[in-house]
Amino acid sequence: MNQKLSGKAALVTGGSRGIGAAIARSLADDGADVAISYVSSPEKARALVRELQEKGVRAVAFQADQANPDEVTNLVRKVAEHFGHLDILVNNAGVFFTGQIGEVKAEDVARQFAINVGGVNAAVREAAKLMTEGGRIISIGSMGATSSPWPGISDYSATKAAIAAYTRGWARDLGPRGITVNVVDPGPIDTDMNRDDEREFVQVLKSGTALGRYGKPEEVGATVAFLASSGASYITGASIAVDGGYNA
């Protein structure tokens, strides 16, 4: 087994299911100790922790509301205290509210920005205090950060575009310390929240990719694990598309 992340400690926010869980598994497969955060699914979080521990790594789950900057800051601190250090931060937690102009409630817009942007900002600011040379910060963005291929996703796209912009700036800020900052932009991925099925909308999404299919959470996880490794030490400030060629 390739243990290229052995000795590293990682935090995956929103890691109890879907893409987050796949990322946690990929990091653990490469030898990293992994902490995950969750909001409302303790059973799934505990089950994943047991699964990760069976891979021979240390694993733990913490509850935290990504919309609350204080909770996010405390989460990062607790992970560093638990493992003794923090080497990899994966900002995966996020929400997706849709609706055209005038249809979305102001409180939903505010919560989407609070989680997708504010939570990431809080996590990175705290992690930056704790990381040393070789640290890795990876955020999960979206193909919607660079295009809005259908109506009703303007607010969501704006949050992911903000993270891409932050990523470029943070890469400049942290580069002199040897810490890389990147964003992974998934396309249509088969998860509980976005099943690959026979719905017309799903078929349209698949036909829009160059590969003609949905992606797998494991394919996003593998990309994150690579960016967390020493093999990606000269990649920073980048947006890596894992979208099957949707934005090609």
Burial 14-50 (b: 16+ CB within 10 A, else e): bbbbbbbbbbbbbbbbbbbbbbbbbbeeeebbeebbe
Residue with tokens 């719905």: 199
- Other C-beta atoms closer than 10 Å to the C-beta of 100 total 11
For residue 217, the SS3 value is helix
Burial 121-139 (b: 16+ CB within 10 A, else e): bbbbebbbebbeeebbbbb
Catalytic (active site) residue 156: yes
DSSP codes of every residue in 44-59 = HHHHHHHHHHTTTS-E
CA distance 228 to 184: 12
Annotated active-site residue in 38, 156, 214, 246: 156
Active site residues: 156
